Structure 1
């Protein structure tokens, strides 16, 4: 599916109930397989308490990426790439859907989900400040574990399956 089709599906989803509370969330996870590393980016539009529409984008690096910082950095880059496709014009059109309903409680936010955590036992804790700052510079609200469910749950589910397919 092209990005334009993804965007049109998101717009269609939001127009069903323009007075809703919407969160556009983008997050990437990776999985090292025998001969490649699979990256899955999840794109999710959620109407809080009422459901969601989601899709994935797959990227395969044809080698085992064993350095954690390199993988986390590429995950963040892939998330940034998708977020950047939501241009100011596209974001304005999304905001325009909920704008007439602001006084009825309608909301819209954009989040970048990073598959890292700050806990003392988390190997990725040393990368939190760097990756969070990267998303903040894009004007996106960064989320880390346990709040980064698009990366740590949704995308993660597909990284496991994706290794069974040939890298195309």
Structure 2
């Protein structure tokens, strides 16, 4: 499971975790939050999914990484939104399994979903938010879901 830092390039999961831990330890008294979101873009023959992992130093910047996966074109919106949510949750699981949350500073986490009150995705809000909260995470939707609708979206193009 590799990730990409926009300036430093490709990183393994363990390299990414080490860099994030270093970032947090630079200013250990600050408040932080982990935000994970996935967006997708379907073209003629493929769908690209991009998951973003953002660690915010609240009010003082952030560091982020992303992961890109390409699959055969997925036309069904409900299925695509479910896949986006699954990618975000799998990302959290990979971080947990790799010891990401074992360092001393508590990091609250949010899952950002690329759904909102406007458009076709409004029909999916209850289902998808329910799924994320049922597994124990805070879910955010548009316009608060910047990890999916802004950061991940930027790298689906």
Residue range with higher mean Cα deviation, 34-43 or 84-93: 84-93
Query: 1:138 offset after TM fit, Å?
Result: 2.7
- 1:122 equivalenced with 2:119 (yes/no): yes
Q: Distance in 1 between matches of 2:43 and 2:129?
A: 27
- Deviations 1:76-135 (CA, angstroms, capped at 9, x unpaired): 000010011222753232xx135xxxxxxxxx3101000001x2x321011111111222
- Deviations 1:14-55 (CA, angstroms, capped at 9, x unpaired): 001111110101000000112100000001001011111101
Query: 1:5 offset after TM fit, Å?
Result: 1.1
Q: How does the TM-score come out when normalised to structure 2?
A: 0.88
* 2:49 corresponding residue in structure 1: 39
Q: Distance in 1 between matches of 2:100 and 2:148?
A: 23
List gaps (5 residues or longer) in structure 1.
99-107, 161-168
Q: Distance in 2 between matches of 1:25 and 1:131?
A: 17
User: Superposition RMSD on alpha carbons, in Å?
Assistant: 1.4
SS of equivalent residue, structure 2 residue 45: coil
39, 42, 52: which one pairs with 1:29?
39
95, 99, 105: which one pairs with 1:97?
105
* 2:79 corresponding residue in structure 1: 70
Structure 1 segments of 4+ aligned residues over 2 angstroms from their partners: none
Query: 1:67 offset after TM fit, Å?
Result: 0.7
List gaps (5 residues or longer) in structure 2.
1-10
- Counting matched residue pairs gives 146
- 1:86 equivalenced with 2:86 (yes/no): no
Higher helix share: 1
Which of structures 1 and 2 has the bigger CA Rg? 1
